[in-house]
Structure 1
Amino acid sequence: MADNFSFWLLLVSAALLGNCQPQQKPPASTTPKLLTAGNLKRLVGTWVRQDTSGPYKGGFQLVRINADSTGTFTSFKDDTKALGRAFFRQHPDFPHYFFMDGPLKVHYQPQRDSAQRKFSEGNVQIWTSRFRFDYYLLGDTLLEHDKMGYQGKLVRVHPAR
């Protein structure tokens, strides 16, 4: 009986002492931290993309970025404009217009390598409720890219004065 008691006493004391260990910090992440657009005032404003060719001819994207890294995203596409039929639609009853409007969140990562800065001043991610878009910032142009390569560009527009 004494051996059984000492076994349980040892087990309970080990469990209690094990829980008193100080919390260790998690290891530092190796991925670069994305900065908000507030850290790059040049992103603040209105950016537009007008599709002038391809299956979405006549469509547009409008992005408004605020100083607090939020904004709005508006996209409109007429799927039948260039092809005369619904593009990527599986059923003829689907509407041939695509419209999306909603809030967005912006992340920015500046280029650290001076050789890379000739091509891009930084990477910009625009997150909507349904999609994430990746861009390279080059002057007043955001070049959209994905795993398939270059997809288009957003150009900064200034209001008429």
Structure 2
Amino acid sequence: MNVQAIAVFCGSQSGNNPIFTQHTADLGKLLAMLKIKLVYGGGKKGLMGAIADAVLLHGGEVMGVIPKILTEWEQQHEGLTELAVVPDMHTRKKMMYEMSDAAIILPGGFGTMDELFEMLTWNQLKIHDKKIYLLNSAGYYNSLVQFLKKSEKEGFLYEPVEERIMVCDTPVEIFNKLQ
């Protein structure tokens, strides 16, 4: 798989466990080292800010895509390689996914879940065939994975969960699966 750009969806907060920020920084360093462009939500706070800062610190490229309303609240990261201001959240998600070769989901809240499930749905409907990786830092997504497997077992999914999403415990594991 020739990966030149990866969309990373994650929280605008850092969460309570320091491993979330550590894994985010590690992922950013790996992206920069492998010369894979980061495409993300353009924010400066939480894990969003941490991933952008780590990629930039290690000489990588960062493309932020942020809805206009968030720039009005001064939430955008000012030091990015590129920043696109879009009209709304839906446009942001669509643009991020069109600009990337795969997606990585880090810990996050409602927005991150929305992004994950929209991408999974697009994948199921064959709107795209990009790989989706779930970074399960400190078991953050264990309950979600259990729920998805329950949905599969109960006959609500068209394919096994593993065909739609790859669950990884560390950033290095994601990059081993990318190769």
Which of 1 and 2 has greater Rg? 1
More helix by share: 2
Q: TM-score w.r.t. structure 2 length?
A: 0.21
Scaled by the length of structure 1, the TM-score of the pair is 0.22
Greater fraction of residues in strand = 1
